[in-house]
Amino acid sequence: MGLTSQTRFAIEEIPETTGTLSFDETAAGEQTVVTVARARRARVGGIYLDTSNVTQNTTFRVYHQIDGTNYRLVYEVAFVAAASDGLSLGEWTFYRSFRVTAQCGGGGAGSVDVVYSVV
């Protein structure tokens, strides 16, 4: 039986992924918030971060796996500490795995919890 245009181009909804990153604000390096493994195209309704505990200005990035191995930056946003209690990184359609990272300049007092939800 052949594929119809509806089955050929169907985009599945991604299962919800939630968790907490213990974000080390003393470190200046990039830290992975979450990596979601995908082998098929999927729609992401939103990537949400609870930034209420973040005390350092932080850059959040979204990377898309382009060839099964390598990730490339597709979105970046600079977050100003104390500007808001949450951050939405938008809606996406990914055809492979993707990763969300956080990076501050260091200088914080320790680690803080950043709760995330990918829906």
Each domain of the chain, given as residue ranges in start order, spans 11-118
3: confidence class by pLDDT, cuts 50, 70, 90: low
Output the CA torsion 17→35→21→73 (10° steps): -120
Mean pLDDT of 71-100: 93
Picking from 104, 101, 102, 103, the residue whose alpha carbon sits closest to that of residue 36 is 101
Q: Which residue has the tokens 């099964």?
A: 68
Say what the pLDDT of residue 11 is.
84
Binned at pLDDT 50, 70 and 90, residue 33 comes out as very high
What is the band of 70 on the pLDDT scale with cuts at 50, 70, 90?
very high
Please give the mean pLDDT across all residues of the chain.
91
Question: Within 10 A of 59 (CB to CB), how many other CB atoms are there?
Answer: 14
State the Cα–Cα distance between residues 98 and 37, nearest whole angstrom: 7
pLDDT at 18: 97
Token pair 């850059």 in the structure block, residue: 59
pLDDT of amino acid 44:
95
Beta strands in the chain (DSSP E): 12-13, 17-24, 31-36, 42-44, 47-50, 58-65, 71-79, 86-88, 92-94, 98-104, 111-118
φ and ψ of 22, to 5 deg: -85, 95
Q: Which CATH number does 11-118 carry?
A: 2.60.120.260
